[in-house]
A and B are shown apart, each in its own frame.
Chain A
Amino acid sequence: QSALTQPPSASESPGQSVTISCTGTSSDVGGWNFVSWYQHQPGKAPKLMIYEIDKRPSGVPDRFSGSKSGNTASLTVSGLQAEDEGDYFCSSYAGRNNWVFGTGTKVTVL
């Protein structure tokens, strides 16, 4: 199985929106509705931001939203804030308790 493809970097000014894509195949992203997004800041555990394509865990701001079309999932961060800087990666269930992860995107707030 191959990693899901994400852009290496994304940047935008405070208050603007940034969207990160996550492209897989029909065996993972396209075949299951269990796509998650994580924020990973240096020295910290990855934090779940979106699960099941578009659901937010308790405590995650509604500035974070997710969607999926075909084999590509997307994470949008609206009203970008300095605290949103960090690495973001996606994951997709691939069946039989198996998971595949994205290549990661570094988000910079200009």
Chain B
Amino acid sequence: QVQLRESGPEVVKPSETLSLTCTVSGASLSSSDYYWGWIRQPPGKPMEWIGSIGYSGSTYYNPSLRSRFRISVDTSSQRFSLKLASVTAADTAVYYCARQRGTAFPTIDFWGQGTLVTVSS
């Protein structure tokens, strides 16, 4: 069974960089069959796609978001990460990692439980 687990700080100060890691089990980050993505949900708002990364390191980001996000992957440790620079209160959200299956017929099929990150001084 594929499992994803987010980890990182619960509180980040304004203007600092948020760093989150997603640890994957039950599937290989080295497979060309998947992309690995990040999604967030601010309080009271819908889910928002941040971006994804493939096994080779190719990245795709939501064009509607400012380019403060960086996604990276470490296939040897079965982890991929999200960095968000210069955070503000608007970045307070539950952050989820997820797997996108396929490229010709894409589906987001597995998610982590999410981790709440609060931006506060």
A-side interface residues toward B, CB under 8 Å? Answer: 1, 3-4, 34, 36, 38, 43-48, 51-52, 57, 89, 91, 93, 96-104
Q: Return chain A residues, CB-CB under 8 Å to B48.
A: 101
Main secondary structure of the interface of B (DSSP, over half): strand
Given contacts A97-B60, A99-B108, contact A44 B113 (CB under 8 A): yes
Name the one of B47, B63, B107, B112 contacting A98, with C-beta atoms under 8 angstroms.
Answer: B63
CA A1 to CA B31, docked complex, whole Å:
30
Given contacts A89-B46, A104-B46, contact A97 B35 (CB under 8 A): yes
- Number of residues on chain B facing chain A (CB within 8 A): 28
B-side interface residues toward A, CB under 8 Å? Answer: 4, 35, 37, 39, 45-49, 51-52, 60, 62-64, 96, 100, 103, 105-114
Q: Return chain A residues, CB-CB under 8 Å to B110.
A: 45, 48
